[in-house]
């Protein structure tokens, strides 16, 4: 699921700002500066941009590990509870099945929230003109 989402996000980011738009937005300095401050901003944005690119590359790994780890932990817990007391292996895990449903719901919400945040980071909303706050 993470790979499908992030490939779709790459496609949306490339079509929204062009294939060179994302690296330019991530690595190049933003804003109006002159002199030494401009040089410092270029260096800072270049270094931070490469960290952001590494972060973008590791997003599918982190999302996949999060989903896999929670599913694996739940299955191990259910297996352990079913083997704790011989003869009652069918009864002990029943409350934990309901907890697994709750954990699955929470993980789906967390995955959805992370996907929404990653989408907002890659495809920022377009600004519609300059609005003057003072009237």
| Positions marked catalytic | 62, 66, 70
DSSP string covering 67-134, please? HHHHHHHHHHHHHHHHHHSTT-TTTTTHHHHHHHHHHHHHHHHHHHHHHHHHHHHHSPPPP-SPPPTT
How far is residue 96's CA from residue 74's CA, in Å, rounded to a whole number? Answer: 9
**Contact (Cβ atoms closer than 8 angstroms) between residue 96 and residue 73:** no
Contact between residue 70 and residue 109 where contact means Cβ atoms under 8 Å apart = no
């Amino acid at each position: 699921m993470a790979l499908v989402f992030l490939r779709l996000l790459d496609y949306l980011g490339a079509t929204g700002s062009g294939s060179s738009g994302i690296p330019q937005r991530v690595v190049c300095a933003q804003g109006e500066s002159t002199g030494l401050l401009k040089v410092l901003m270029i260096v800072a944005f270049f270094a931070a941009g490469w960290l952001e690119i590494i972060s973008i590359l590791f997003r599918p790994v982190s999302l996949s590990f999060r989903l896999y780890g929670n599913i694996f932990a739940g299955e191990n817990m259910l297996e352990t509870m079913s083997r704790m007391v011989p003869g009652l292996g069918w009864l002990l895990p029943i409350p934990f099945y309901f907890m697994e449903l709750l954990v699955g719901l929470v993980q789906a919400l967390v995955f959805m929230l992370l996907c929404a945040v990653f989408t907002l980071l890659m495809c920022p909303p377009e600004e519609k003109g300059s609005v003057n706050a003072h009237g």
